[in-house]
Structure 1
Amino acid sequence: MTDYPSAPNPGWRPEQPGQVPPPSAGWSGGPGGGTPGSPGQGQPVCPRHPDRVSFVRCQRCGRPVCPECQRQAPVGVHCIDCVRAAQKQVPAQRTVLGGRITPSRHPVVTQVIIGINVALFLLGYVVPGLTWNLMFAPVVGETEPWRIVTSGFLHAGIFHIAFNMYALWIVGPFLEKMLGRWRFIALYLLSLIGGSLAVVVFSAGPSADSWYQGVVGASGAVFGLFGAIALVLRKTGRNAQQILVVIGINVVISFVIAGISWQAHVGGLITGGVLGLLFTKLPRERQHVGGVIGVVAVAAALVAGFVAMYAVK
């Protein structure tokens, strides 16, 4: 069945068969009532679509709402404007550590980081000197500080990148969900930078070979995630024993196997542990502001560490 806006003179009866009834006031089908198909004067029209007559009204604001703008509600319908306004008023759901719960279930940041690492690894086979120009060594840290970060997205071989990306995929999504995206990014990057700082700290200076030894890999950042996740697991009441065993094994491997930068691993682990402690100890109502202040403080401490080390080396 179709509801029409109004009927022309419902009390009228034809005097002769086939006689056409005269239009009523405001009817949209004849003289004085507008053009055919357009709303007449005084008829309720949708605010978003003034050419559409509607006798259905929003249960919240009371305005007419056309079928396109109707949104089903527990009682009646709401207009699209009221629905959007209500969505803005609902506070975002958050995890116990303040991470914002989003509709997307995909760990976007973790996936992007893995994608960048894989892309640069493959690009290294195409662009000559890419790894050499982006790797970090203490000798270039003062004049080319961007290498402090870029080195963390390079890898020396297929097994190197495979291990690091697998470890990142194991712990990254959980931390990204619990901490939220921006704190997860801060944790990853600052742990990476902390690993590079440790390489400078434990180097004997320009007189030693280690001052000129280049390092690459996401291991410092991954160890930072290890340090943070152990504290996050404890905070959320989960068993942290397994991750502690994994951390212990990897620390031992760092010292036993030649060619591994144990300095970067230790530096990343310490930085991640400090940030993890900060994120898990803040009261819930202060997690956002306190988290920002804490991240800025750690970043400033790392910068000060680099400045101090290059001043005394």
Structure 2
Amino acid sequence: MDQAVCCYRHPDRETGIRCTRCERPICTACMVSASVGFQCPQCVARANDSSHRVTQPRTVSGGRVSAGDPFLVTKILIAVNVALWLVELAVGGGGNGTVVDKYGLFAACGHDPFGNQVCGGAADGEWYRVITSAFLHERTNPLHIGFNMLTLWWIGAPLEQRIGRAHYIALYFVSALGASAAVLLLAPDTLTIGASGAIFGLFGATAVYMRRARYDMRPILILLGLNILFSFTWSGVSWQAHVGGLVAGTLVAIGMLYAPRERRSLVQWGTTAAVLVASLALMGVAVSQVTS
């Protein structure tokens, strides 16, 4: 059973909220709204007192709160995905399109959703596919990119605000690479594209964040469960990418959000690096199996 966390100013009141400056637990009566999250009265008073040095606001993962738009990275990711989809439409080509054939993910000679053979792949040295594939979508199916981008905004934007830009960027790209590793390992001859692998990593990170903040996890677990069910039952969906992204994102988020304050940066970036190295190692194993 989890030990209850109580407000440091009111020990008789349980809470799941923490001050974004000092990270001490505070109840609803003590929390003061800030640009990101909430602050305790003591930190607000210290910041307003000119005799004290102003403490730099921190995100829930300990990173600095970025100036300007708190959702900037998410907006850029959406813009890049949409722009590349428009490029796919403009370039055209047979089957799923020239762009997807050139930059989609598979290990060796694969097949597109229409059954056409596509040669090249990571096994032939085209390693760029492990990341470019995460920014491509079916040009003949607007629902593919539409649903992914809406989900990226709904899940990604709040998460970016809470963990900060640097951690969010690392989380997104490592999740994308984790998804690619799972695809190469479990479905090496299937042409795979889409941002959903990285988005599943954001799902996992959101669940970790809600657990860390002691929020009601039922909404995110139900949403995640429905998406996992959809992954395994809907034809043409890469469950391999979804599972790989989910595992990678969850592991990175655990390292970021549960790192001890004394060695926070070391644990956070060490965990991120470890998941990245493991993903790259799995890619190497997958390609070696194909070439052998």
Contact 2:171 2:249 in 1 (8 A): yes
Q: Residues 13-24 of structure 1 correspond to what in structure 2 (within 5 A)?
A: none
8 Å CA contact 2:134–2:193 kept in 1: the answer is: yes
Q: Which has the larger radius of gyration?
A: 1
Structural mapping, 1:97-136, within 5 Å: 97-128=61-92, 129-136=98-105
Aligned-pair CA distance for 1:175: 1.4
Q: Where does 1:1-313 land on structure 2 (aligned, <5 Å)?
A: 90-128=54-92, 129-139=98-108, 140-142=121-123, 143-156=125-138, 157-203=141-187, 211-313=188-290
The aligned counterpart of 2:26 is none
1:256-301: CA deviation from partner (whole Å, max 9, x where unpaired): 1111111101111111111111112201343223212221121111
For 1:173 and 1:287, how far apart are their aligned partners in 2? 23
Amino acid at match of 1:115: A
State how far apart, in whole Å, the 1-side matches of 2:266 and 2:128 are.
28
Report the 3-state secondary structure (helix = DSSP H, G, I; strand = E; otherwise coil) of the residue aligned with 1:123. Answer: helix
Aligned residue number for residue 56 of structure 1: none
The alignment partner of 1:104 has SS state of: coil
For residues 65 and 205 of structure 2, what CA distance do their matches in structure 1 show?
Answer: 20
> 1:91: Cα distance to partner?
4.3
Q: Contact 2:185 / 2:285 at 8 angstroms: preserved in 1?
A: no
- Give the counterpart letter for 2:244 in structure 1: G
The residue type equivalent to 1:187 in the other structure is L
Higher RCO, Cα 8 Å, sep 6+? 2
Q: Is the 8 A contact 2:66 2:164 kept in 1?
A: no
Distance 1:174 1:285 in 2: 26
What displacement does 1:236 show? 1.4
**Is contact 2:58-2:65 (8 Å) kept?**
yes
- The answer to whether the 8 Å contact 1:98/1:178 transfers is no
**C-alpha RMSD of matched pairs (Å):** 1.7
Q: Secondary structure at the match of 2:90?
A: coil
- Counterpart CA distance in 1 for 2:159 and 2:202 is 8
Structure 2 runs not aligned, ≥5 long: 1-49, 93-97, 109-120
**Aligned counterparts of 2:231 and 2:266: Cα–Cα separation in 1:** 36
Instruction: Provide, for residues 106-159 of structure 1, a one-character-per-residue CA deviation record: whole Å limited to 9, x for no partner.
Output: 311000000000000011111241222111112112310100100010111210
Q: The residue matched to 2:275 in structure 1 has which SS?
A: helix
Distance 1:180 1:151 in 2: 25
CA distance in 2, matches of 1:162, 1:177: 22
Checking the alignment, whether the CA contact within 8 Å between 2:179 and 2:197 is kept in structure 1 is yes
CA contact (8 A) 1:228 1:273 kept: yes
1:310 shift after superposition? 2.0
Tell me which moved more, 218-227 or 169-178: 169-178
SS of the residue corresponding to residue 124 of structure 1 reads helix
Give the match's secondary structure for 2:232.
helix
Q: Distance in 2 between matches of 1:105 and 1:244?
A: 29
Can you list the C-alpha shifts for 1:10-42, whole angstroms capped at 9, x where unaligned? xxxxxxxxxxxxxxxxxxxxxxxxxxxxxxxxx
Give the conservation status (yes or no) of the 8 Å contact 2:70–2:160: no
How far, CA to CA, are the matches of 1:96 and 1:189 in structure 2? 20
TM-score (norm 2): 0.71
Secondary structure of 2:191's match?
coil
**How many residues are paired up?**
219
